[in-house]
């Protein structure tokens, strides 16, 4: 019999570091001092290095040989590149989710979305990022394609850690989520796909707009 619960230090350290990066406890471009981090996490450098290797392939850190590991900072171009990919992958996921839709998961997600809508502005702003990550992950899970889950998952993590300050009012997102869920529950693949497409397009335009504004600001000074 296998022990599925078993989680080695590698994995724990990996998860914790990932969290620290996404939550900005570790700043972009910050050098990851191995001894310091190891002490802080109460482990040796060995599991840390394996965690770094994973995070590297997930674009959350970068390695400069003989210089160490650094939190990877994402440029605007890269962020848009990621959205271009999410546009392709998450539409696929939504379409497949509609095909294979599991009602129990779907209902729970609908309830959660309604619950979010009922929150007041401040509370919503605080809880939205986590919820948003969960929403997108669950849709991908419904698709039954594990690769989608893992890829979209890491893109969303990168996104999460990098769009601080460019968030729009989350309420709009929530209504978009509801239409996606509606399309999925009615098993309409094409509708689900297009609902997801516009949802992500909106977010992408928002980022483009934000970057244009910042450029403008810079010019005016």
Partner DNA sequence: CTCCAAGAAATTGTATTCAAAATATACTAA
Partner DNA sequence: TTAGTATATTTTGAATACAATTTCTTGGAG
Work out whether 40 is an interface residue with DNA (CB under 7 A): no
3-class DSSP state of 61: strand
Give CA–CA dist 134/115, Å, rounded: 14
From 20, 52, 1, select the one nearest 157 (Cα to Cα): 20
Q: Is 146 in the site for its own copies (CB under 8 A)?
A: yes
Q: Which of 37, 142, 148, 183 binds its own copies (CB under 8 A)?
A: 148
Judged by CB under 7 A, does residue 53 bind DNA?
Answer: no
Q: Which does 208 bind (CB under 5 to 8 A by kind): DNA, its own copies, none?
A: none
**Per-residue buried b or exposed e for 199-215, using 16+ beta carbons within 10 Å of the residue's own CB:** bbeebbebbeebeeeee
**C-alpha span between 87 and 201 (Å, rounded):** 7
Binding partner of residue 146 among DNA, its own copies, none, CB cut-off 5 to 8 Å per kind: its own copies
Which helix (H) or strand (E) segment holds residue 94: the answer is helix 76-100
Choosing from 29, 84, 102, 134, the residue that interacts with its own copies (CB under 8 A) is 84
- Residues making contact with DNA (CB under 7 A): 3, 8-10, 31-35, 42-47, 49, 63, 65-69
Q: What residues line the site for its own copies (CB under 8 A)? A: 2-3, 6-8, 10-11, 46, 49-54, 56-59, 63-66, 78, 81-82, 84-85, 88-89, 91-92, 96, 145-148, 151, 155
């Amino acid at each position: 019999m296998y022990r599925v619960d078993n989680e080695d230090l590698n994995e724990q350290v990996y998860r914790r570091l990932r969290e620290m990066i996404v939550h900005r406890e570790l700043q972009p471009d910050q050098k990851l001092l191995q001894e310091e981090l190891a002490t802080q996490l109460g482990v040796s450098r060995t599991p840390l290095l394996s965690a770094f290797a994973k995070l590297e392939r997930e674009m959350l850190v970068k390695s400069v040989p003989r210089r160490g590991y650094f939190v990877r900072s994402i440029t605007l171009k890269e962020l848009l590149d990621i959205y271009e990919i999410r546009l392709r992958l998450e539409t696929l996921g939504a379409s497949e989710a509609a095909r294979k839709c599991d009602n129990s998961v779907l209902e729970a997600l609908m309830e959660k979305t309604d619950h979010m809508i009922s929150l007041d502005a401040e509370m919503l702003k605080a809880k939205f990022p986590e919820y948003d990550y969960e929403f997108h992950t669950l849709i991908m899970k419904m698709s039954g394609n594990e690769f989608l889950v893992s890829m979209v998952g890491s893109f969303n993590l990168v996104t999460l850690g990098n769009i601080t300050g460019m968030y729009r009012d989350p309420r709009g997102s929530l209504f978009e989520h509801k239409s996606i869920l509606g399309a999925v529950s009615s098993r309409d693949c094409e509708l689900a796909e297009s609902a997801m497409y516009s949802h992500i397009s909106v977010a992408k335009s928002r980022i483009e707009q934000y970057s244009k504004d910042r450029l403008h600001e810079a010019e005016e000074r």
